[in-house]
Structure 1
Amino acid sequence: MKKQELEDFKVNIRLKLAGLWTTVMFCYIYGDYFELYVPGKTESLINGNNMLDSPMKLFIASFLLATPALMIFLNLMLKPAFCKWLNIGLAIFFSLFTALVGLSSISEWRTFYVFLAALESIITLVIAWQAWHWPRQTQNTAL
């Protein structure tokens, strides 16, 4: 009996990167959602005693979180060379940023947050790796 192989195809680097940024965004969203279950979190949101207690801090947080969301689209639209370096730069920045967030969140009630921050850092490092190894076109030099 002949074993049938499953059909496979090569996934374009742009789709891989867009998918990875999408995964990072879901981790961000779940982390922020689950944090609402941490004792005292909703009270601090109501009374304004939290990290995002000014219009500028809210803007900076919005800008930071909008960047990965935009990368989903930009990976599909930008020219390859610019896209490659933008992915590498932003992925390294977000890897370090989320690692620092994870380290500063170590506590019993934020174990989930540390886990998600570590996962986000790994995913963004994979983004940098994938972008660094962006495939090159082979040029046909036949006469």
Structure 2
Amino acid sequence: MRNSRPTTLENPRLPVQAELAAAWTSLMFLYIYVDYLALYKPGFVDDLLAGTVHEFDTGPTFVAMALTLMSIPSLMILLSVILPARLNRATNLVAATLFIPVTIYNAEGESWSYWYFYGFSIGLEVLLLAFILYSAWTWPRAAAPTTTAGPDREVASR
């Protein structure tokens, strides 16, 4: 007996908000894992214990700036789901645009022996930011409402 079930899988379109939230989540996972894996680089922990990261003093200013910087993509996960469409689109365009140079800067001062590690991670992060920009830029538009009454037609009143 033949199986009459369809064999093609349905691929429904996700709402733009879900795509954006997923992309920001992926970006945050990459940020976290790159920072974690950097701990395995020889000398990194020694520099950290001595109070420096990327030539920066790890005092209160550095920690506050790092938290502020990473709070933006963290909050974008939630904001991508709850903001109204127009504000959501603008916020995603601005945040993703600002994070491209921030992401690229992470390679500053790194040795060439880690070019694959930083090149690969930064490449993936920039691709995710490009996807966010593309998704926000091409946000679907709602069709204009149509009316049956116009200047040449009278609306019947009861």
Q: Tell whether the structures are fold-level matches, with TM greater than 0.5.
A: yes
| Structure 1 unmatched runs, 5+ | none
Check conservation: 1:96, 1:121, Cα contact below 8 A: no
Between the aligned residues of both structures, percent identity stands at 31
Q: Is the 8 A contact 1:102 1:118 kept in 2?
A: no
**Counterpart for residue 29 of structure 1:** 32
Equivalent pairs, count: 143
Q: Which residue of 2 aligns with 1:98?
A: 103
In structure 1, C-alpha distance between the alignment counterparts of 2:139 and 2:89, rounded to whole Å: 7
User: 1:1-143 maps to which residues of 2 (within 5 A)?
Assistant: 4-50=7-53, 51-102=56-107, 104-109=109-114, 111-141=116-146, 143=148
Q: Which has the larger radius of gyration?
A: 2
Q: Contact 1:102–1:113 at 8 Å: present in 2 too? A: yes
**More helix by proportion, 1 or 2?**
1
Shift of 1:57: 1.3
CA distance in structure 1 between the aligned counterparts of 2:110 and 2:67, rounded to whole angstroms: 20
- Structure 2, unmatched stretches of 5+, are 149-158
Q: What per-residue deviation string (whole Å, max 9, x for no partner) do you get for residues 5-63 of structure 1?
A: 10221100000000000010011011001100000111112221333522111111111
**Bigger CA drift: 104-113 or 56-65?**
104-113
CA RMSD of aligned residues (A): 1.9
Secondary structure of the structure 1 residue equivalent to 2:106: helix
